[in-house]
Structure 1
Amino acid sequence: MSKVLLTGGSGFIAAHVLDILLEHGHTVITTVRSQEKADKIKDAHPKTPGSQLSFRIVPDIAVEGAFDEAVKIPGLDAVIHTASPFHFNVTDTKKDLLDPAIIGTTGVLKAIKKNAPSVKHVVITSSFAAIIDGKKGLRPGYKYSEKDWNPITEEEAPLNPGNGYRASKTFAEKAAWDFVEKEKPNFTLSTMNPPLVLGPIVHYLNGLDALNTSNQRVRDLLQGKWKEGIPETGAYLFIDVRDIALAHVKAIELPEAAGKRFFVTNGFFSNREIADIVAKNFPEYEKNLPGKEVKGGAYPEGGLYGFDDSKTMEILGIKYRGLEESIVDTVKSLKAVGA
């Protein structure tokens, strides 16, 4: 088993990565922004010995040298870097999105090269946002794969929060691959490029007011915000959080994952399908849900892009959860925190 540093351990994806690492018998050191977060995670794993789960406090990943001390761990084998912001409550695109993503990513790689010579492999959470070309629209007939890169420019990045997010993921991932190519460090790299990530939250870390962006749509549905009209789906591809978490862990366990991007997606979904799944499985929410006559949230009439995730299936061999299982488990987890 490996000794693994996991950054951003209280995040939506990272919390599931942490659980799977422990299940697989790995020793985990996770970075968190505060001692309070560390205590919550520790309290939620009472049977896990301190020798298998420990913490490093990194208050701000956008500060140069933020990870220099955190990576100084004797015998450290691998690093999974998930820490990066994803929200649209942005006042300064550079400060709120671009800097934490890019400086955080390059900073952890520099720290590993400088202070953690035993590390053999690094996995970074990127996004479908670093693959899709938003300017091309829905692109019916085109199949996106790991070969594609979002062509967004530095000039376009600050125009709106959506551009800022897509640019942050694209620039950070490119910076990581450039670092490995130019610096020839002691480790290999894999990146994960999931689309919209749905699935259950980890209760002890989350409340309804602090959900990951993708699950906010499920919360809004349960709270009656779709009753008069279902919003456009926006991103039509999804993955369950437990499946993308497993993909991160498998990438450090399988040598053939080194040097590769992984476009990890289950397939298509629409907001209309989410509403129908909730109506079918949770009759107690009926008064808050849109009726069959309510418009919106369907697939686009002209069709949309396809996808090729054959590399992920071939190398990582993950059996994906379906949309219904993902949404049912999401709703159950939201009910547990008051939805």
Structure 2
Amino acid sequence: MTRVLLTGGSGFIAAHVLDILLEHGHSVVTTVRSQDKADRIKKAHPNYDSKKLDFAIVEDIAQEGAFDEAVKSDPPFEAVIHTASPFHFNVTDVQKELLDPAVIGTTGILKSIKKSAPTVKRVVITSSFASIINPFKGNWPEHTYSEEDWNPITQEQAVENPANGYRASKTFAEKAAWAFLEKEKPNFTISTMCPPLVLGPIVHYLNSLDSLNTSNQRIRDIVQGKAKEQIPETGTFLWVDVRDLALCHVKAIEVDAAANKRFFITAGYFSNKEIAQIVEKNFPEYKEGLPSTSAPGGDYPKDGVYKYDNSRTKEVLGIQFKPLQESIIDTVKSFKSVGA
């Protein structure tokens, strides 16, 4: 059993991380922004007392010293899984609303651990394929992405628009974490998780279909008939199921070989057209609103798409990825549980 601090406990990914941590017998304190969120998570896990599942309120992760108190625990923490970070494009000030919270949130928790939690040996950070992809190369079919790649986005490009700002926030935050490790030489190791689009079932006690994580919105929109005339373009053609990603986070604190490594976590390719076909095949009740076979859009580009190398995740963390069909079916079933 490991004593773990999990940040951003009410998030889409963290909710699944929490379930797996508890299943694996770890003892968890999770940070949330409000007592109401803590109460809802606690109510959904009635079999765990406060020794196994407890909470710390951190209202704003971008504040200096935000995690100073949260990292203190009795018994003391041995690992930290940091998932908390902003992800939305509804911003007016990219620097203030995307870049600063991501970078300050990540370096802030590392500083707090070094200062106040000397027993922590492992830190896992949720990063993103956004910190790997080169957005200026398009579909780049001749290239194979791996952990060796870094998004070359600059500070000047970052503040041009929210999409650039989001990618830059992930890139700058992850680079800041590795720089901290090199410069500060703390007692702990770091592992970073870099997933592309994260699909998969929602945790019913936290989500309504209005507050869905951004990646799953495409499945909701197809189910709700919003893609009947034209399927939206897929955008990023790589995906992973949230449960596999959550397991990677937990394995990274359990497997020694994961220390000080970056992980590109993807199950492979998908397209919005494939999602629509899976929904049509398995949920006849939605047929009326689904795109016809001749509906345009949502397919792979004719000139091909970048390749990927996910061998490190398979070999070091021992992950067998769920297929797209299973993920989409389970996601749509989870939507039904909140009234879709």
Per the TM superposition, whether the score is higher than 0.5 is: yes
CA distance in 1, matches of 2:220, 2:291: 14
CA distance in 1, matches of 2:89, 2:324: 25
Opposite residue 87 of structure 2, the aligned amino acid is F
Opposite residue 267 of structure 1, the aligned amino acid is G
Which structure 2 segments of 5+ residues have no match? none
CA distance in 2, matches of 1:95, 1:39: 30
Cα deviation for residue 336 of structure 1 reads 1.2
Which structure 1 segments of 5+ residues have no match? none
Opposite residue 195 of structure 1, the aligned amino acid is P
**Aligned match of 1:48:** 48
Which string of whole-angstrom CA distances, capped at 9 and with x for unpartnered residues, describes residues 8-44 of structure 1? 0000000000000000000000000000000000000
CA distance in 2, matches of 1:158, 1:221: 32
**Corresponding position: 1:57 with 2:57:** yes
Q: Secondary structure at the match of 1:192?
A: strand
Opposite residue 56 of structure 1, the aligned amino acid is A
Q: Secondary structure at the match of 1:214?
A: coil
Cα deviation for residue 102 of structure 1 reads 0.5
Cα deviation for residue 276 of structure 1 reads 0.2
Q: Secondary structure at the match of 1:262?
A: strand
Opposite residue 51 of structure 1, the aligned amino acid is K
**Aligned match of 1:16:** 16
**Aligned match of 1:67:** 67
CA distance in 1, matches of 2:331, 2:263: 24
**Aligned match of 2:325:** 324
- Where does 1:189-268 land on structure 2 (aligned, <5 Å)? 189-268=190-269
Q: Secondary structure at the match of 1:159?
A: coil
Opposite residue 243 of structure 2, the aligned amino acid is R
Cα deviation for residue 158 of structure 1 reads 1.3
Which string of whole-angstrom CA distances, capped at 9 and with x for unpartnered residues, describes residues 221-266 of structure 1? 1111101100100010000000000000000001110010000100
CA distance in 1, matches of 2:160, 2:337: 38
Cα deviation for residue 140 of structure 1 reads 0.7
Q: Secondary structure at the match of 1:176?
A: helix
Opposite residue 20 of structure 1, the aligned amino acid is I
Say what the alpha-carbon RMSD is for the aligned residues.
0.6
**Aligned match of 1:95:** 96
**Aligned match of 1:310:** 311
CA distance in 1, matches of 2:257, 2:294: 50
Q: Secondary structure at the match of 1:109?
A: helix
Which string of whole-angstrom CA distances, capped at 9 and with x for unpartnered residues, describes residues 133-173 of structure 1? 00011111210000000000000111111101100000000
**Aligned match of 2:302:** 301
- Where does 1:70-149 land on structure 2 (aligned, <5 Å)? 70-74=70-74, 75-149=76-150
**Aligned match of 1:158:** 159
State percent identity of aligned pairs.
71
CA distance in 2, matches of 1:45, 1:94: 38
CA distance in 2, matches of 1:96, 1:222: 31
CA distance in 2, matches of 1:320, 1:137: 26
Query: What's the TM-score, normalizing by structure 2?
Result: 0.99
Q: Secondary structure at the match of 2:124?
A: strand
Opposite residue 18 of structure 2, the aligned amino acid is L
Cα deviation for residue 59 of structure 1 reads 0.3
Cα deviation for residue 100 of structure 1 reads 1.3
Cα deviation for residue 273 of structure 1 reads 0.1
Q: Secondary structure at the match of 1:156?
A: helix
**Aligned match of 2:28:** 28
Q: How many residues align?
A: 339
CA distance in 2, matches of 1:96, 1:243: 29
Q: Secondary structure at the match of 1:204?
A: coil
Q: Secondary structure at the match of 1:155?
A: helix
CA distance in 2, matches of 1:237, 1:155: 27
CA distance in 1, matches of 2:289, 2:94: 35
CA distance in 2, matches of 1:311, 1:330: 27
Which string of whole-angstrom CA distances, capped at 9 and with x for unpartnered residues, describes residues 62-111 of structure 1? 10100000001132100000000111112221122111111000000000
CA distance in 2, matches of 1:203, 1:93: 31
CA distance in 2, matches of 1:8, 1:278: 31
Q: Secondary structure at the match of 1:80?
A: strand
